[in-house]
Amino acid sequence: MGSVTGRASRAGHGLKADCANCAGLCCVALPFSASADFAVDKRAGEPCRNLGEDFRCGIHTRLRPSGFTGCTVYDCFGAGQKVSLVTFGGADWRRSPATAASMFEVFPVVRQLQELLWYLTEALTLAPARSLHAELRPLLARTEALTLLGPEDLAALDVAAHRQRVNTLLLRTSELVRAGAGGGRKKKDRRGADLMGARLKGADLRGASLRGAYLIAADLRGADLRLADLIGADLRAADLSGADLTGSIFLTQPQVNAARGDAATSLPPALDRPAHWS
């Protein structure tokens, strides 16, 4: 299972967003549409109206009541500071307008690679997958090396192909970890399942594969999700109150931020309890 070591390792790899060392890239490079998540429309490359001259959000403490819930859910896995400080050597799109288009193009590429680093780093903390560590380490090193490419090489990178290579190994990791859920029973395979609004209160989902499952607004109160594979699961508005996610694998902060929970929700130690949870 994951441990506090996983949190420290991710921090060491710069997989946590450091907005103070980013040129507000997520607030400029990415588009959004007026919806339940965003109060207004914004085009890609257009600065958010709430972005200050110092690259800080002017309504950071009031995002949810101001209609910008989507901003509280998003996480770049450290791509913002890496693109700002490493890829472009501290230049920013305001002081160096000629870099803007390239910077905005590269940011989502690095964000994808940083997310893969998150998964690979976690995989290397999982004892049941120890037999795969010799394969995981060079793949992690290769992924890290890709994040350090120059802007032109990053823009030309086939991220989908690299993601597939990583995913193949993560699947094998998942199988080894979930086999430890115990009980001698067949593990539930709900990959990509449509479970939107599903009534799963108190459900026994130990060791289940919920990879890419649609759990939007699902009732998971008190559910047992120990050792469940949650990579890519859509947990928007899912109710995790009292749920046990101890040892669940490949769960990310954006997924947790998008869900609802309470003080009784048990999370993996590498993740933070969202401030908006009751």
- List the structure tokens of 1: 């299972």
The token pair that represents 76 in the structure block:
């770049």
Q: For residue 181, what pLDDT is reported? A: 83
* pTM for the full predicted model: 0.91
Are 132 and 169 a contacting pair, CB within 8 Å?
A: yes
Among candidate residues 89, 88, 86, 93, the one with its CA nearest the CA of residue 26: 93
DSSP 181-218: G-TT-PPPB-TT-B-TT-B-TT-B-TT-B-TT-B-TT-
Amino acid at 149: L
pLDDT value of position 13: 59
The amino acid that residue 48 corresponds to is C
Q: Domain 188-278, what fold?
A: Pectate Lyase C-like (2.160.20)
Q: Tell me what pLDDT residue 6 has.
A: 52
Average pLDDT along the chain, 278 residues, taken 10 residues at a time: 47 79 95 93 95 93 93 94 96 93 97 98 96 98 97 97 98 95 74 97 96 98 97 97 96 96 95 89
Q: Are 205 and 228 in contact (CB under 8 A)?
A: yes
**Model confidence over 174-217: pLDDT tens digits?**
999 999 887 656 678 999 999 999 999 999 999 999 999 999 99
The backbone region for 182, taken as left when phi is positive above 0, alpha when psi lies in -120 to 50, beta otherwise, is: left
To the nearest 5 percent, what fractions of the chain are helix, strand and coil?
A: 40, 5, 50
User: End-to-end CA distance of the chain, in Å?
Assistant: 27
Which residue do the tokens 């902060």 mark? 253
CB atoms within 10 A of CB 263: 9
* Class of residue 256 by CB neighbours under 10 A (exposed 0-12, middle 13-18, buried 19+): buried
Contact call for residues 266 and 245 (beta carbons, < 8 A): yes
- What are the backbone angles phi and psi of residue 56, rounded to the nearest 5°? -105, 150
Per-residue pLDDT, 278: 72
Residues, the chain, total? 278
Q: What is the pLDDT of residue 183?
A: 62
CA-to-CA distance for 190 and 193, rounded, in angstroms? 5
Amino acid at 237: A
Question: What pLDDT does residue 10 have?
Answer: 54
Please tell me the distance from the alpha carbon of residue 237 to that of residue 228, in angstroms, as a whole number: 19
